Chain A
Amino acid sequence: MNTMRLPRLTYLEPKTRAELIAFKEAYGEQCAIMGGGTDLIPRLKRRCIPTRHLVSIKGIAELSEICRQEGGRPFIGAGVILRDVIDHPIVSRSYPLLARAALSVATNQLRNMGTLGGNLCLDNRCPYDGQSELWWARRADCFKRGGNTCYVARGGKRCMSRSAADTIPAMMVLEAEVLVVGPRGERRTPIEDFYTGDGRKPCRLGGDELVGGVLLPPADDGWREGFMKKSPRGSIDFSIASLAVRLKMYGGSVEAVRIALNGVSTRPVRAKGAERHLTGKDLSHETIKACVPLMVQAAGPVSLIGVSPAYRRRVIEVMFTDLVQHLVA
């Protein structure tokens, strides 16, 4: 007899994209789309989310594959398991940054279960919101739970839960597009527009919409790129910060640069101020150092146990300096 039983559930296994969309339309916010279930199932066991209807994306072939689409752009279905993303020749050969980022997610076992779509849509988290039903008994609900308070930023006026998925910064600097599907058809949105910054509803999705996958740009090996994740014990922990940088150099100067961070705010961040500052400049120690305040501006008072916002800002500074110096070495 085990100690953690899931609540009563409905588990739906659509076989086609149309069926999937129909289920989502019928259930709306009452259902959760399930890939690997690696975040969903633990939350259900703790009974900290109200959903009881699960709709699996895994049986839908066209959303579980990596293939070339128009213009040679790869499409990675939302249902593709992270391990398969890492191992796929298209990714390992032409988009190693994404493979590197996916390798920093969680653990070996969880990378064999979780999907890219699941990581993309990973719910925001904080030390409090994911606690069990019993833990929350007789405690005022926070914003994310439908209440009026925040335990991360006491006295705060909005949800400060943290966006923490590690593949997102890589996809942001790759300027990927998210494919959103629903009953009214499909639409594409640049990944940096996909996140709301509202911890209660981090993804910009209608109630009847879901993520079909991501489209990567055509491969371009003119960029130097790097990814780094800092966390207490390695990939197993959620990040203090994860950082992706892509640089195009011309002569000794920066022709173009893309910088993205996650784990530092209520949404993933493109550090456009830092990008503007670096463009056209050489990458001297002074230039990089001057960039740092623009980088850390993005970091808000979001919470990871034992990591203060001030410490996080120092970590970002060190990560950015190290990563950029490594890229121009």
Chain B
Amino acid sequence: MLTGASDIGQGSDSLICQIVAEVLGLPFDDIHLTSADTELTPPDMGTYSSRVTVAAGNAALRAANLVRGELFRVVSEKLGAGADDLVARDREIFVDERPDLSMSFSEAINLYQKRHNGSPLVAKASYTSPDKMSPTYSFGAYVCEVEVDLRTGEVQVVRMTVAHDGGRPLNPMSVEGQIEGSVLMGMGYALSEHLIVEDGRTVNPSFLGYRMPTAIQTPEIRITHVISDDPEGPFGAKETGEGSVDPTAPAIANAIYDATGVRLTELPITPEKILRGLERMEGSNGKTAD
């Protein structure tokens, strides 16, 4: 399997192998993947925009289906059954409900080669979004619970409860990993990260000054996978990386509003901004915020 898709840790290598293995009925370890090698692999636009599962996944799905189609053609002829009645599973190709009418995957390959003058079976496929903006969209409902110290404005995110519609989680562990990482990134965006520029100079060009969340800030994160089986995505899958950052900061801001009555829309929401908001409320009401 050759793909231009670049696995930067999100798990696209695994995902592409899973898709191909699923289609061809082979164990995951039988898929040998070469990815993101500009000397060898076909193009891919890159890992951003949460696009790889749909773009490279669909390309892999199509290529795998072409391979399966070719194999089923020769096998159906040999077994005397319709191609539509064939199943590929556990390294075998057999007639549905007739396990006695089968051959192994390797035998099927050999048969293909015999029928094609020894040519290897090669398939290639690509995917381009049918829509200029995006082939599809993910959705989510993110609930945030915070504790705010009304004396200091300090915020602790206690729990994020997430329902993410990524179509179908083809690798649930990877999807959770993406959601968890994105939630922390959204938290940093909401509460502590700020690139400060004065007179054209960045005042905090360092990890220490930029204040991204550490392990201490990690909240409890509860995840529900909402399965919508999107027609555009490979096996119904959509995305989960960027779509999980977006709702997090607003959920936190809304939770802070719920806790304090202070509505803040400028990020990061620092303790000091919350205190000033509380003071403004006190000033206009003549009483403390409850």
Contact = CB atoms under 8 A, between A and B. Distances in A.
A binds B: yes
Contacts of B203: 127-128, 131, 305
A106 B205 CA distance: 18
Contact of B209 (A127, A230, A307): A127
Contacts of A307: 272
A315 B216 CA distance: 20
B285 interface: no
B152 interface: yes
A233 B192 contact: yes
B65 interface: no
A314 B153 CA distance: 10
B152 A318 contact: yes
Interface string B145-164: 00001011000000000000
A232 B270 CA distance: 9
B117 interface: no
A305 B204 contact: yes
Interface residues of B, number: 21
A308 interface: yes
Contacts, number: 47
B201 A135 contact: yes
Interface string B268-280: 0011100100000
A50 to B, nearest CB: 21
A311 interface: yes
A190 to B, nearest CB: 32
Interface string A108-133: 00000000000000000001100110
Contact of B152 (A135, A308, A315): A315
B214 interface: yes
Contact of A233 (B149, B151, B196, B213): B213
Interface string B253-286: 0000000000000000011100100000000000
Interface in B181-213: 192, 194, 196, 201, 203-205, 208-209, 211, 213
A135 B203 CA distance: 9
A232 B210 CA distance: 11
A306 B192 CA distance: 9
A315 B213 CA distance: 21
Give the residue among B149, B152, B214 with the most A Cβ atoms within 10 A.
B152
A306 B275 contact: no
A318 B151 contact: yes
B217 interface: yes
A236 B272 contact: no
A49 to B, nearest CB: 16
A308 B273 CA distance: 11
B272 A233 contact: no
Nearest to A135: B201
B270 to A, nearest CB: 6
Contacts of A234: 214, 216
Given A233-B214, A233-B216, A234-B216, A306 B270 contact: yes
A116 B149 CA distance: 33
Contacts of B214: 233-234, 236
Contacts of A128: 203
A233 B211 contact: yes
A131 B203 CA distance: 8
B193 to A, nearest CB: 11
Interface string A205-243: 000000000000000000000000010111011000000
A305 B207 CA distance: 13
A237 B270 CA distance: 15
A22 to B, nearest CB: 36
Interface in A300-322: 305-308, 311, 314-315, 318
A307 B203 CA distance: 14
Given A233-B211, A237-B208, A306 B272 contact: yes
Contacts of A131: 203, 205
A230 B271 CA distance: 12
A177 to B, nearest CB: 32
A311 B196 CA distance: 19
B272 A308 contact: yes
Given A233-B216, A236-B214, A306 B152 contact: no
A180 B211 CA distance: 37
Given A305-B204, A307-B272, A308-B272, A232 B152 contact: no
A234 B208 CA distance: 12
Contacts of A314: 151-152, 275
Contacts of A127: 203-204, 209
Contact of B217 (A132, A233, A315, A318): A233
A232 B191 CA distance: 10
B268 to A, nearest CB: 8
6 contacts: A233-B211, A236-B214, A311-B272, A314-B151, A314-B152, A315-B152
List 7 A-B pairs, minimum CB-CB distance, nearest first: A311-B272, A234-B216, A318-B151, A127-B203, A318-B152, A306-B270, A305-B204
Interface of B: 149, 151-152, 192, 194, 196, 201, 203-205, 208-209, 211, 213-214, 216-217, 270-272, 275
Given A127-B209, A306-B194, 9 more contacts: A128-B203, A131-B203, A131-B205, A135-B201, A135-B205, A236-B208, A305-B203, A306-B196, A314-B151
